[in-house]
Chains A and B, each alone.
Chain A
């Protein structure tokens, strides 16, 4: 049996008076792609933020390689977890290259930073062409690719992606998902992806979790979840 890279046990999170996560248990293994699905407010993004230490945990534990850890962003980056937040959030006035350099925070050797930039440029050739341009001039799809590439700069073992297709055209969504698929196959990076574009997501995911009101209501193999009525029930609100 494969050992978990990352696991969450009985996680509870509150936003003020709102009980956002209610006893979440999930895991991620090396090299796999895990989908987090559910309607708005189900707690998908909160799970990613919890893993990365951006929201405080009320109770429960996060384990990294079998050891319980208190998530703090700079510590999680050093451990090998990278987070690509919703809405791309590239630094518009910095060039593509400078954005990538920012992503290499945990890499102290400048030679290695250069090497990582070459590596991600190979993976995302469009960024090579725009290397010196301010990232604010890129299209939405290109900015999303830059955001993902920036997340890969620290050579993470786990990449947390929050809604990579948000606000993108269908063509750009296709391009982004194809790149994610290639990346997962070539980089051996484990991915945990929150996404509303379920068909695109399940095509690249190995496993998935379906959330509703802060709890996991279904989990399992991606192909099985694609046929599961739970998704339809949650998204249409039917009982």
Chain B
């Protein structure tokens, strides 16, 4: 049961990351690899506020969102001026810089040693120390994120995002300042990633920079590409599959000495075949 609840919690955290990244990549057509950075900033901000300042969980999450949004606003104002490959390259650069800061600003982040002893959320005297309560909290956060994303993509704002994805030059002709729209969705997406980071930090109670590398951004991108770009249910399915497959492969009976590598190999092959057979992902409306 504990294992099952662990998978539910991980699924919820990665689904939040997938949903929020889909707003930028799937709906707006901007290939961003920044998500691990915002996920990490949210995690570190919450971890530090809880361990050093002893703040209330919700307040720490809120301050994490504010900090992440401000950073997203500054980096996004630069990135929003770029398109296509240049946007992707700029986002990779930001992710690598953020990782370097997590690793090297030892006075704040404790560098590779990471931050331990992060308390589980305690809300109005109700402690989320049990796995079932934490899974419930993560699912509630996922539900709120899903509804917020659905509201965005169904609004006139969401329609403009899709039009930017289709033809940014054409939509400028109607007077839209696309830079502002791209910046806004980038900040919203980063704020959501920050919440996922807060949940992750308080769930595992320990964080270090190795969780927030560029590979984590690639993993989140894989979630939305597999599930389907510009489809919110696709993000949920992508997260479910990418969290479950490695776990299911544990029971495939590979010899112990090569089990880890074989699992990675099978996992990679499955993704490769899927991408060859269905490049728009399982439920995707748009192809990169």
Which of A77, A92, A94 makes the CB contact (< 8 A) with B174?
A77
Report how far A75 CA is from B285 CA in the complex, Å. 33
| Given A91-B167, A154-B174, 14 more pairs with CB closer than 8 A | A52-B173, A74-B177, A75-B175, A82-B174, A83-B173, A85-B173, A89-B169, A89-B170, A93-B286, A94-B159, A98-B162, A101-B159, A102-B159, A102-B163
A90-112, CB < 8 A from B: 91-94, 98, 101-103, 105-106
B residues with CB within 8 A of A: 156, 159-160, 162-163, 166-167, 169-177, 285-286
A31 at the interface (CB under 8 A from B): no
Find out whether the CB atom of B170 lies under 8 angstroms from the CB atom of A77: no
Find out whether the CB atom of B171 lies under 8 angstroms from the CB atom of A102: yes
Residue of B nearest to A135 (CB): B166
Find out whether the CB atom of A94 lies under 8 angstroms from the CB atom of B166: yes
Residue of B nearest to A85 (CB): B173
Give, as a whole number of angstroms, the nearest-CB distance from B280 to chain A. 11
Chain A residues, CB < 8 A from B159 = 94, 98, 101-102
Report how far A78 CA is from B174 CA in the complex, Å. 9
Residue of B nearest to A153 (CB): B174
**Interface size for chain A: under 10, 10 to 19, 20 to 34, or 35 or more residues?**
20 to 34
A residues with CB within 8 A of B: 52, 54, 73-78, 82-85, 89, 91-94, 98, 101-103, 105-106, 150, 154
Residue of B nearest to A134 (CB): B285
Report how far A76 CA is from B176 CA in the complex, Å. 11
Give, as a whole number of angstroms, the nearest-CB distance from B153 to chain A. 12
Chain B residues, CB < 8 A from A75 = 175
Which of B162, B170, B173 makes the CB contact (< 8 A) with A93?
B162
Find out whether the CB atom of A101 lies under 8 angstroms from the CB atom of B156: yes
Find out whether the CB atom of B285 lies under 8 angstroms from the CB atom of A74: no
Chain B residues, CB < 8 A from A78 = 175
Report how far A108 CA is from B155 CA in the complex, Å. 14
Chain A residues, CB < 8 A from B163 = 91, 94, 102
Find out whether the CB atom of A89 lies under 8 angstroms from the CB atom of B174: no
Give, as a whole number of angstroms, the nearest-CB distance from A188 to chain B. 21
Contact (A93, B174) CB under 8 Å given A101-B156, A102-B160: no
Residue of B nearest to A102 (CB): B163
Chain A residues, CB < 8 A from B156 = 101
30 of the cross-chain contacts (CB-CB < 8 Å) are: A54-B173, A73-B173, A73-B175, A74-B176, A74-B177, A75-B175, A76-B175, A77-B174, A77-B175, A78-B175, A82-B174, A83-B173, A84-B173, A85-B169, A85-B170, A85-B173, A89-B173, A91-B166, A91-B170, A93-B162, A94-B162, A102-B163, A102-B171, A102-B174, A102-B176, A103-B174, A105-B174, A105-B175, A106-B174, A154-B175
